[in-house]
Amino acid sequence: MSYSLKFFNSISIHNNEIYSISIFPSGNIISVSSDKSIKIYNTNYIHIQKINNAHDDDITYVSVKDENNFITCSKDKNIKIWIKNNNNKYILSQTISNAHNDIIIKVIYFIDEKIISCSWDETMKIWEKDNNNIFQSIINFKHFDWVISILLLEEKNILISTGRNGTKFFNCLNYENIFNINEACCNTNNGLQKIDNDRIIVGGGFDGIIKIISISGKQIQKEIDNAFECDGICVIEDKKIFIIGGWSYDIKIYNSNNYICLQIIKKAHSHYINGIIELKNKNIVSYGYDKIIKIWKFNLE
């Protein structure tokens, strides 16, 4: 038994490249772009809300907490916290101005209402609300080069950061550095994903090599020569596969147990693919530089 993807539909949703897409618990879709806008669509891909000029520069990432809250970050070095008002519209709640000294690549929710951000300024920061509910930086992790992506494994109390100088693992409780794998480098915020409770996948390196890391073994378990930089990774745990896209414009499906390539969709997009995600209805969405999202359905073979 194996799975393949079949093209279903495409939707033009932004005026410039799409950097990040996330999903609300309801299944609604939120996307951000270098056109500085935020767009929200329902499960039928009908437009619900557009926020123009949400940042002063390219919006690089969006992370959803729940139906009422999400956060964004940008090349303008700011982090913004958004909430849903009584009219079911999302409005700006708080801005963390100059959160970093350079472009912010990714921001995600952390445990205990904290958030984490990473940047080209070679740091990863943890933010916590003070007594006035204003986010303040409480921890500043230093790398030796750009920090491109972050991943929280809450069940293991492990925080992972990756970038151009390798991948680092931290204890979430005391923030101590547990171990590093310098050979696992990444150049994209969607290139770091969890496979299961012991394995993560690091892609996005210029060499086109995908690295599977065993957390318990503290080492690279498998290297896959993907032949192109992998900028987007989507892991489908129940199907035991992961889906990747990147600089070749192709999409590939791999078996996550034996790492065999099951399908290659040639020229899935007309430009670089920045990300791939699974929707609540189990369809797959891919997106990138060509300003559109493409919806794919699974075939069981």
Per domain, the residue ranges of the chain are 19-230
Please check whether residue 6 is in contact with residue 297, taking contact to mean a CB–CB distance below 8 angstroms.
yes
- pTM confidence score: 0.94
Residue 258's pLDDT is: 95
- Residue 116 has which token pair? 């984490």
Residue with tokens 């963390």: 96
Q: What is the mean pLDDT of residues 58-83?
A: 98
* Residue 251 reports pLDDT greater than 90: yes
CA 249/CA 176 separation, integer angstroms: 39
* Residue 77 reports pLDDT greater than 80: yes
Beta bridge partners of residue 150, listed in sequence order: 161
Strands 166-171 and 158-163: antiparallel
* DSSP, residue by residue, 96-132: ETT-SSS-EEEEEE-STT-EEEEETTSEEEEEEE-TT
Q: What is the mean pLDDT of residues 90-94?
A: 98
* Residue 198 reports pLDDT greater than 70: yes
Residue 144's pLDDT is: 80
Is the pLDDT higher at 187 or at 206? 187
Residue 230's pLDDT is: 87
Residue 228's pLDDT is: 81
Residue 142's pLDDT is: 85
Q: What is the mean pLDDT of residues 45-59?
A: 96
pLDDT digits (tens, 9 = 90+) for 126-176: 999 999 889 999 988 888 899 999 999 999 999 999 998 899 999 999 999
Residue 58's pLDDT is: 98
Residue 1's pLDDT is: 62
41 burial type by CB count under 10 A (0-12 exposed, 13-18 middle, 19+ buried): buried
pLDDT digits (tens, 9 = 90+) for 1-25: 677 899 999 999 999 999 999 999 9
pLDDT digits (tens, 9 = 90+) for 32-50: 999 999 999 999 999 999 9
* Residue 185 reports pLDDT greater than 70: yes
CA 220/CA 218 separation, integer angstroms: 7
Is the pLDDT higher at 165 or at 89? 89
* DSSP, residue by residue, 153-205: EGGGTEEEEEETTEEEEEETTT--EEEEETT----STTSEEE-SSSEEEE---
Q: What are phi and psi of 37, to 5 degrees?
A: -105, 160
pLDDT band for 206, please (50, 70, 90 cuts).
Answer: confident
Alpha-carbon distances, residue 134 vs 80, 127, 140 (angstroms): 12, 9, 17
Residue 205's pLDDT is: 79
Residue 227's pLDDT is: 77
State the chain's mean pLDDT as an integer: 94
Q: What is the mean pLDDT of residues 252-281?
A: 95
Please check whether residue 115 is in contact with residue 107, taking contact to mean a CB–CB distance below 8 angstroms.
yes
pLDDT band for 257, please (50, 70, 90 cuts).
Answer: very high
Residue 3's pLDDT is: 78
Residue 301's pLDDT is: 63
Under CATH, domain 19-230 is a member of which superfamily?
Answer: YVTN repeat-like/Quinoprotein amine dehydrogenase (2.130.10.10)
